[in-house]
Amino acid sequence: MSQKLSIIVVEKDRDRALRIVDSLAETGSHDIQVIAEETSLARRISTQNPDVVLIDIANPSRDTLEELALASAPMDRPVAMFVDRSDDGLTKAAIEAGVSAYVVDGLQPERLKPILDAAIARFHMFQRMRTELAETKRALEERKVIDRAKGLLMKARNIDEDAAYALMRKAAMDQGRKVADVAQALVTAAELLS
């Protein structure tokens, strides 16, 4: 945590919140906000748009844990959750909700920095994986549309696959569009005409 981070701490207990803030202050100069009330948590976190959310819960229930995790938008930012006790179901629920770090046995001030560093690193790794997965899915969808459009051209013009692709590629170049866009237009037109 060498750069200045904006951190929201979700903690009901004032004394515990102060200990967390003091521990964070020892790791560097950060913009730290404490939220003690869980009502409107999602809105308040969204308004503040922090770099990291740190949640400390003494005895979480599955519902509380899921609500807190989802309210902190774990897909938008790293979320580290500290609990005093847990079981397999709670751990699984937190991880599935997207929590970057789920630490059992409470928040120990000396462990705070490495845990937050790991949560931030893990969040960025998963964010890259989500982006790559979305790009792969998009590429596969484009490939399916291009293949379908090639089939339509092969049937309509009685040409082979390479000639159908060359025809779409030439149309794309002439129109300054992507081959996938030309293929989608062809497929859409064919659907309207059938």
pLDDT of 2: 53
What secondary structure letter does DSSP report for 15?
H
pLDDT digits (tens, 9 = 90+) for 1-45: 557 889 999 888 898 889 889 988 888 889 999 998 877 788 888
What pLDDT is attached to residue 145? 97
Rounded CA-CA distance 126/81 in Å is: 17
Distance CA 179, CA 185 (A): 10
Instruction: Kindly report the average pLDDT of the chain as a whole number.
Output: 87
**157 phi and psi angles, rounded to 5 deg:** -105, -5
Residue ranges of the chain whose pLDDT lies below 70: 1-2
pLDDT, residue 63, reads 72
